[in-house]
Amino acid sequence: MGSFDERVADGLAAIRAGGRWRELRPSQLAQAGRIGRDGQGLIDFSSNDYLGLALHPRLAERAADWGHAYGTGAGASRLVTGTNAAHLAIEARVAAFKGTEAALLFASGWQANAAVIPALLAAAPGAAVFTDRLVHASIHAGLSGVRQHRFRHNDLAHLSELLDRHGAAAPARVILVESVYSMDGDRADLPALATLAAAHDAVLIVDEAHATGVLGPGGAGLCHGVPGIALVMGTFSKALGSFGAYVACSALLRDWLVNTCSGFIFTTAPPPPLLGAIDAALDLVPGMTAERTHLANLADRLRAGLAVRGFDTAGSTTQIVPAIIGTEADTLALSARLAGAGMLAAAIRPPTVPAGTSRLRIALRAGHDIADVDRLLEALG
Ligand SMILES: Cc1ncc(COP(=O)(O)O)c(C=O)c1O
């Protein structure tokens, strides 16, 4: 039996041998859909700063203003002394934006899913849990140790079958989906899911990480106006240009989370500079219709160009457009070739996506122009 370090080294060697080695490389977001990496300016097709807000001066200014006014840290957890009037004000703004009764802030999207899901399940012991096969790793973190009935991606007939088979005898049923799938860029049929959930007396929970700011009325997401969704989670880290997350739900569920959710109770409140950046983003996002239309047009052009070149784009209808390649080696080679041509399109490999579906995940930013998309298509051609 080796030492702990030897075991770790063996584990790393296995990761390397399996072609799944990952490493951290410094990079810096830049304007106009660019990114700096390894001393090179690249067209960035991999970040989630869809609306360009991460570099918007209004967010940086308000972050600095609120940092000066309220401090750089909140000082304690929300329930001890950490709740600033700004936390409550941002939550009221998020609830209004999402069209829900209430909202609650969390440190990050990953942490929100990991913390909120167990708290909700604690209200319904023994609940049967149904998840789309492609839900994000953070949802699985929230379901650690919980038996999942996983339905084929976006296949509501399969979900219905599983609900009949495993849900009927359970004391409660919970369905977890994303409104936009992060690696495929396709959408869930939320009205149909809500109808199915209602028919089975199931609780529907939706992750809007990639829809928030980009899709729905004024960028409010795809859940906006769809009745029957119990809780929506979303992040400020992608289109909203900063960091942190929210859940939008009824006042009743918010009270439940405030009183039972470990990842809310036992963590320091989000810092005021972050709240300032979120506040500025919430000012800007509803009016960014031109940016949303531009993103949709770029995505249409990219999908059409990829289709002509024989790439499968996996049902994408959003600003996230995958080009499915297949093997990890081919995907890495293509990504490296694009980097050589001045473009960053990260290779996404298992375990992030199913084996055999390694892909370039192309994420469009509002700062891109048509020439950027055409340059990518030419390089892929
Ligand atoms: C669908 C989905 N949910 C949650 C998260 C986590 O959000 P965050 O990056 O804010 O932690 C991500 C992003 O990584 C995501 O793609």
Q: Do 229 and 313 reside in the same domain of the chain?
A: no
Tell me the residue range of the domain where 334 lies. 24-51+288-380
pLDDT tens digits, residue range 368-381?
A: 999 999 999 999 98
Please name the residue whose Cα sits nearest to atom 15 of ligand 1. 209
Q: Provide the pLDDT confidence category of residue 177 given band limits of 50, 70 and 90.
A: very high
Average pLDDT over residues 92-115: 98
Query: What are the two backbone dihedrals, phi and then psi, of residue 146, each rounded to the nearest 5 degrees?
Result: -100, 135
Question: For the chain, how many structural domains are there in total?
Answer: 2
Distance 209 CA to ligand 1 centre (A): 6
Which residues fall within 8 angstroms of residue 159, CB to CB, at 6 or more apart? 130, 151, 175, 193, 196
CATH number at residue 85: 3.40.640.10
> Helices 370-380 and 328-340 meet at what angle, rounded to 10?
130
User: Does the interface predicted TM-score (ipTM) exceed 0.85?
Assistant: yes
Distance of alpha carbon 50 from alpha carbon 285, whole angstroms:
11
Unique residue bearing structure tokens 């939706």: 206
> Helices 289-308 and 370-380 meet at what angle, rounded to 10?
20
CATH number at residue 325: 3.90.1150.10
Which residues fall within 8 angstroms of residue 261, CB to CB, at 6 or more apart? 115, 116, 119
Q: Do 175 and 36 reside in the same domain of the chain?
A: no
**Last-in-domain residue among 252, 286, 320:** 286
pLDDT tens digits, residue range 330-381?
A: 999 999 999 999 999 999 998 899 999 999 999 999 999 999 999 999 999 8
pLDDT at 2: 82
Q: Which residues does residue 358 pair with via DSSP β-bridges, in sequence order?
A: 326
- What DSSP element (H or E) covers 86? helix 85-98
Distance of alpha carbon 183 from alpha carbon 27, whole angstroms:
21
pLDDT tens digits, residue range 252-270?
A: 999 999 999 999 999 999 9
In a domain, 16, yes or no: no
Distance of alpha carbon 244 from alpha carbon 253, whole angstroms:
19
Residues at CB less than 6 angstroms from ligand 1: 108-110, 113, 136, 138, 178, 182, 207, 209-210, 235, 237, 245
pLDDT at 1: 60
The half-sphere exposure of 52 on its side-chain side, counting CA atoms within 13 A, is 18
Query: What are the two backbone dihedrals, phi and then psi, of residue 40, each rounded to the nearest 5 degrees?
Result: -115, 140
- Which of 49, 91, 184, 207 is labelled catalytic? 207
